[in-house]
């Protein structure tokens, strides 16, 4: 996120407030106060409250793509990542899982954006689809493709690789939602994450 323009600061503060209180729970006066101006001035930058919300969604979509490219793993193209994990070990798979987990839980914008979508998902069809796409379909598709390729190299037991992706990702996703609700449980979840991946490897990886 850039903080160069006032527009960007409005987007950031609005996201922060929407993530805590929901769209309806935040007033234009509140946003203005957080930015350090009067409510009327917001209308010089955005047509209205809904325009701010739309702008947040657009900004975060492009931000997500930028960030994902900076991770060690590509995150979008598993065929580019597969070389990294050719001789997959428990350690390495823990690497993927932990990286995924820590990024999602610690990155301020990602966390706020996910909270905002979580709150808004039942009020808006578009938000619902965006949430499922980003936090389910894309994640599962990536893992499924990665596991399929690793299996062709003879690293894994024979299995349905979509289900295998689900077995890898769903526990991690579930633990992320716990940390969103109760940040004080992060250490507990990190320990459980370690056990999860250890057991996942025992159960699915042929020899390690």
Binding site for DNA (CB under 7 A): 6, 26-30, 32, 37-41, 43-45, 47-50
Q: Return the one option of DNA, a second copy, none that residue 29 interacts with (CB less than 5 to 8 A, by type).
A: DNA
Residue 196 interacting with a second copy (CB under 8 A): yes
Q: Residue count at the site for a second copy (CB under 8 A)? A: 42
Angle between helices 138-152 and 161-181 (to 10 degrees): 140
* Residue 32: partners with Cβ closer than 8 Å, 6 or more residues away: 38, 39, 41, 42
Judged by CB under 8 A, the stretch of 60-68, 84-92, 97-105, 165-173 that binds a second copy is 165-173
Among a second copy, DNA, none, partner that 122 touches (CB below 5 to 8 angstroms by kind): a second copy
Residue nearer to a second copy on the CB measure, 57 or 84: 57
Q: Which residues contact 128 (CB under 8 A, 6 or more apart)?
A: 121, 122
User: With the C-alpha atoms ordered 33, 4, 126, 180, is the resulting torsion angle positive or negative?
Assistant: negative
Q: Which one of a second copy, DNA, none interacts with residue 20, CB within 5 to 8 A by kind? A: a second copy
CA angle 29, 27, 22 (to 5 degrees): 145
- Alpha-carbon distance values, 139 to 14, 42, 62, 77, 78 (Å): 27, 36, 17, 11, 11
Q: List interacting residues with a second copy (CB under 8 A).
A: 19-22, 24-25, 115, 118-119, 121-123, 128-129, 131-132, 136, 159-160, 162-164, 166-167, 170-171, 173-174, 178, 180-182, 185, 192, 195-196, 198-200, 202-204
């Amino acid at each position: 996120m850039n903080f160069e323009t006032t527009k960007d600061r409005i987007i950031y503060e609005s996201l922060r407030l929407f993530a805590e209180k929901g769209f309806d729970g935040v007033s234009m006066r509140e946003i203005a106060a957080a930015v350090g101006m009067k409510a009327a001035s917001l209308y010089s930058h955005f047509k209205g409250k809904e325009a701010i919300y739309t702008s947040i969604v657009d900004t975060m979509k492009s931000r997500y793509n930028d960030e994902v490219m900076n991770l060690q793993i590509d995150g979008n193209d598993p065929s580019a990542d597969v070389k990294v994990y050719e001789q997959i070990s428990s350690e390495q798979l823990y690497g993927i899982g932990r990286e995924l987990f820590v990024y999602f839980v610690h990155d301020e914008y990602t966390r706020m954006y996910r909270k905002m979508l979580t709150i808004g998902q039942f009020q808006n069809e578009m938000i619902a689809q965006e949430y499922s796409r980003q936090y389910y379909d894309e994640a599962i598709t990536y893992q499924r493709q990665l596991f399929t390729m690793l299996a062709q190299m003879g690293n894994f037991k024979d299995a349905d690789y979509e289900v295998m992706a689900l077995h890898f990702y769903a526990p991690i996703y579930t633990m992320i939602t716990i940390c969103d609700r109760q940040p004080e449980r992060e250490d507990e979840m990190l320990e459980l994450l370690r056990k999860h991946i250890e057991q996942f490897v025992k159960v699915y990886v042929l020899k390690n």
